[in-house]
Structure 1
């Protein structure tokens, strides 16, 4: 807009009139800028069907494939609607119909957007892609750092960067002027910058005498939910600027916010199976410096935990009294199990005793019935309803024999165990199916005596299993065709209890890296002290400032432990070794699949892993491997996380399998231009029948994306992300010999020309996946309509809509076989032993021919 200050006579206007007009124009200009800013920065909350909530600016795009989008613009081709949600740090792609649960809701934008002057080049080469990050220095007081990446020639290439914009969500980090200037706008999460670095940057760039500038820093820390930093800075301002005393109540609000974070941490630890730590936080909570509302919340949580312990004590006392009323032979038979319940009844196992808690005090029921409820609940779980003490005593012996069977290596001895089981009244399939998930891992005792399982002496909860990295490589070098030996490292959460099952991440290391790097990513680098806030009133008062606010402190825990996300959320992390020596990329072979799957089965036999909540994830080639293994064996996983991967080979053909698998893919948008190179593959996941989120970080290349871990754990913990129920209508594809087991259908050798050797992929005459179709019918039939073999095994279990009391028929073309369940448990136990899946054991099997 051009403005001319003149009058009709060509004379200069009075200075007063000029001032008035200038003020009006300035106001109009300011309103215009505010309107444009609101439009540019308006954000929405978008709720997804998987339970996640995205926040940012969204728009619809027709495709993730840049090539397809270009073609659509020229030819008018319409593609599926995809929503991309941009929060300034990353862009998250989801399919609108398949993923979005409700219309977006407007939310206020971030208020603090702080800009810093940096010598950014006016020109320079525009960066299209960035190589693998090799190292990075911390930000100095000028907000600058040096990032070293792998250059085009493979040698290290340093990039000098500086923060030019900072919000509570992201830092805009641009390349600075050098002899070889480049244009690079990179975004990193503000949460990845330490408070010490941020304080140093603000002190250097903020006028200490400018109270408004200092308050902007306070608001920034508060918006970033770094309430301790906000509180400290505000206290300093109040000390240095007494005229700002009207802000003093805000200090108390920040203390409240800190207390709320501490309370959330206690609740998280409790639900993650860490009641001792949760109670320690609550017992030391700063109740004297928080509001009455927070005090009540703390008291309620403590009361809930006390009530749980009271129920445990009541169960112990009442069960002991009732057993004491039984005849002496029964008391002797129950002695071992009663001692076990006394030793192992915890908040995690207490739900098993719900029937006994409800009915144990009912004096109208005889002692035998009430004891039966307690023992049956312990062995079979809540709701078993078994009140026959004779059967319950039999169940104790059944469990002993089942454990022996699952641990026995000798087939002859396993057959003897089956014969002994057949004589026990409680050896019924329905009883054993309920018993298996509640048992401790069958080989838990081997952890103490097996030389191949070694507890790490320096890190609490970490174990080394099998050969080390060098030994694993050497074993494979001797015979590349042989199955690789089991070799992995595992990290258990604090207060690990083998009676409680834990969600698990199978974490795939990058090629050339060691498995331990994955524990560092998922579980955190081992620390010498616990970094959680202290909660003692006395400590808080002693360390508080004059206004009664407090400094951070921490309860004493083991000095050598990991403190990362899996620790806080109560996940087990299993990091298998899967690469050959010198291997630089994922090779799509069954050798690699077996290295991972055998490590998972081994871990499930030794550690308390919930088979319905096992996720697989990885970085770089490990991310590609995780992706391929997930959709090649979708019946095993609750979800897949792939970070900085490069999909190829089978991943271009296995889309039919991917709809059964929740997928979370993370990449940098400077990672080889992913939407040009991989957009066609991503598009196949952007449909209504996929649970898929694809995340592109702005200005990032091959990276580990540590800052995405928090959202990944939120994604894994959503209620819908558990292993999917077995499909009644099975439609999958296969093009490798090893990919021939899907839920309840398995086949033998593939027909000629259908199986492709991944090593000879480029020499294959025909690159096409073989379709597999089978269906569970309403008339107690299973029909195989299309498959790549002449021999099949149909595995049967009650999760399929089949009536095991009636004859089950399996058909393939003109072949038919009938199955009548005879109540035998041999198939069930052998399946649980081989697959190590005690949540969904098969009850029977039918083979064709």
Structure 2
């Protein structure tokens, strides 16, 4: 641990283990703390049990299996129960006792896998889910679970058939347009619909699908229904083909307007748009809401796979801030976990990791990767007098610009890096080109700007820092499909200070703000009233210097007035990443929209 006299070595021991938490006590110093059991790797638990439990002790082996079941580590439970049968199969009555439990645990494991599939389905990862459903284990699995799997498979088959039929109907309707010149002009619209129609946007053609068989409508009117629904997000489709053609002109004009480099060009485009029949406030609002992000991703933003996938020791400095001990000079105790382990533990807990790995491995590329999937490095100008702000973006698996995604903007601490923040929220890269962290599993975009100056040790409460974060937010929303009602700001240590300040300064921009090990200072106490308008989730350590005392005044103001504020304090712990809080943070974000 770090102290005012320099680093002090502390030997810690795990002295008690429960399915929910483990007790860690100091051997050389007085220190008593708790960690989530889900934070322990399966290898560590197995080593502890192997040391403590005699492999010839049947009752002890049963206790190990019972522990795994209570901790929802069903894969390990199945393995232990099978080993018990193998080692003690000749013991009278043991098979009659263990085999029913083994069958039940296999059901629990299958149910856990099914829950993971439903989570991925809600996140829009349909290809991955379909592949996993096709390979869902059936041996020894109860009929009720298999029936749920069959229903999911049937639902996907129904949607695939509906999608194929919609594409066929759009194509046939376009071919039935009698005027060859008109049909040629509408060819680009037809090509776009056939190329980009998918599960996430097929509801745009709902009206067309219902009326395509109506004999009273001409082919031109039916195609207008499809095209107008497509461009307006399925709202207020029309059978008037001239108005539909005007909608496409308006959409193209809007894209050009948003991409225009100067005011003169925007005024020229706007003057042209005003003459279009479909340029009304209501139609323009619907078109804008249904637009894909207008700014393309430049070629130089793609990050080579060889650069993204590096050994953890190369990516994570040996000494990080937040260090896994307290900030230097504070002299308080905190657990010593490596940065590599911190990033790894931010992934799915071991209770879920088996299911997550089984599913996520389907994301692995079949060929050698040239670029890291969905991983980009971009830059944007903050204040005119400041250098451009570089930021990193990790998109969720199967990202689709027609789907709106929640987004996390995460601010690094001193001595830390934006890439480490991406790893914390989205998980580290796996060799096949996929991540299995919480943001990846749940379908969140993660953005990490290099918002601070090199070697900066404290948040400066400056206009340049505010401008850097807000410019990144604006640029990301222009390039990626962000649900702007679900943008969350977070940060660790110095980055937590910045998140707290910027969150309160601009409460209308955020669905929630999540400062980790942050300190209230300077302007934060001055506009505390803004906490009424933005949900806050603080993660703190009891032994993190005097931060809890410093923050107490603001916490009291928020909580006594009933603001939507959560304060989580970990007893016996200090200045950390607090990876074991991630799952509750995501549950909170799901409820905070």
User: TM-score normalized by structure 1?
Assistant: 0.60
* Structure 1 residue 690 corresponds to structure 2 residue 538: no
Deviation digits for residues 303-322 of structure 1, max 9, x if unmatched? 11111111111111111122
Deviation digits for residues 283-342 of structure 1, max 9, x if unmatched? 111123311111111010111111111111111111112222223233222211111111
* Structure 1 residue 643 corresponds to structure 2 residue 491: no
5+ residue gaps, structure 1, are 1-148, 529-558, 723-849
CA distance in 2, matches of 1:363, 1:313: 22
CA distance in 2, matches of 1:351, 1:627: 39
- The equivalent position to 1:461 in structure 2, one of 366, 370, 374, is 374
- The equivalent position to 1:441 in structure 2, one of 284, 293, 296, is 293
Greater relative contact order (Cα < 8 A, sep 6+)? 2
The answer to whether the 8 A contact 1:511-1:586 is kept is no
Deviation digits for residues 596-648 of structure 1, max 9, x if unmatched? 11111111111222211111111001011111111111111111111111111
- The equivalent position to 1:293 in structure 2, one of 109, 130, 144, is 144
* Structure 1 residue 236 corresponds to structure 2 residue 149: no
* Structure 1 residue 193 corresponds to structure 2 residue 40: yes
* Structure 1 residue 662 corresponds to structure 2 residue 535: yes
The answer to whether the 8 A contact 1:484-1:594 is kept is no
- The equivalent position to 1:224 in structure 2, one of 50, 71, 74, is 71
Shift of 1:673: 4.6
5+ residue gaps, structure 2, are 307-371
Q: What is the aligned partner in structure 1 of residue 227 from structure 2?
A: 375
Q: What is the aligned partner in structure 1 of residue 274 from structure 2?
A: 422
- The equivalent position to 1:522 in structure 2, one of 417, 425, 429, is 425
Shift of 1:439: 1.2
The answer to whether the 8 A contact 1:391-1:426 is kept is yes
The answer to whether the 8 A contact 1:447-1:606 is kept is no
Q: What is the aligned partner in structure 2 of residue 125 from structure 1?
A: none
* Structure 1 residue 489 corresponds to structure 2 residue 406: no
CA distance in 1, matches of 2:46, 2:187: 62
CA distance in 2, matches of 1:422, 1:712: 47
Deviation digits for residues 6-62 of structure 1, max 9, x if unmatched? xxxxxxxxxxxxxxxxxxxxxxxxxxxxxxxxxxxxxxxxxxxxxxxxxxxxxxxxx
Q: What is the aligned partner in structure 2 of residue 18 from structure 1?
A: none
Shift of 1:376: 1.6
1:289 alignment partner, SS class: coil
Query: What are the equivalent positions in structure 2 for 1:697-736 lying under 5 Å apart?
Result: 697-718=570-591, 721-722=592-593
Shift of 1:565: 0.9
Q: What is the aligned partner in structure 1 of residue 18 from structure 2?
A: 167
The answer to whether the 8 A contact 1:505-1:573 is kept is yes
The answer to whether the 8 A contact 2:78-2:105 is kept is yes
Shift of 1:212: 1.9
Shift of 1:221: 0.6
CA 456–687 in structure 1, closer or farther in 2 if over 3 Å, else same: farther
The answer to whether the 8 A contact 2:540-2:548 is kept is no
Shift of 1:167: 1.2
Q: What is the aligned partner in structure 1 of residue 50 from structure 2?
A: 203
Query: What are the equivalent positions in structure 2 for 1:321-400 lying under 5 Å apart?
Result: 321-326=172-177, 327-400=179-252
Deviation digits for residues 353-381 of structure 1, max 9, x if unmatched? 22223333333433333322211221112
Deviation digits for residues 237-277 of structure 1, max 9, x if unmatched? 12222331122111111111111121122222222121111
Query: What are the equivalent positions in structure 2 for 1:552-591 lying under 5 Å apart?
Result: 559-591=432-464
Deviation digits for residues 445-493 of structure 1, max 9, x if unmatched? x423xx4x233434322111139xxxx9xxx9xxx98234131011111
The answer to whether the 8 A contact 2:235-2:286 is kept is no
Rg larger for: 1
CA distance in 2, matches of 1:714, 1:690: 19
* Structure 1 residue 250 corresponds to structure 2 residue 163: no
Q: How many residues align?
A: 523
Q: What is the aligned partner in structure 1 of residue 357 from structure 2?
A: none
CA distance in 1, matches of 2:24, 2:261: 58
CA 590–319 in structure 1, closer or farther in 2 if over 3 Å, else same: same
2:295 alignment partner, SS class: coil
CA distance in 1, matches of 2:212, 2:384: 59
Q: What is the aligned partner in structure 1 of residue 467 from structure 2?
A: 594
CA distance in 1, matches of 2:26, 2:289: 54
Q: What is the aligned partner in structure 2 of residue 511 from structure 1?
A: 414
Shift of 1:687: 4.1
CA 401–383 in structure 1, closer or farther in 2 if over 3 Å, else same: closer
Q: Which has the higher strand share?
A: 1
Deviation digits for residues 719-745 of structure 1, max 9, x if unmatched? xx22xxxxxxxxxxxxxxxxxxxxxxx
User: TM-score normalized by structure 2?
Assistant: 0.85
CA 291–363 in structure 1, closer or farther in 2 if over 3 Å, else same: farther
1:651 alignment partner, SS class: coil
2:523 alignment partner, SS class: helix
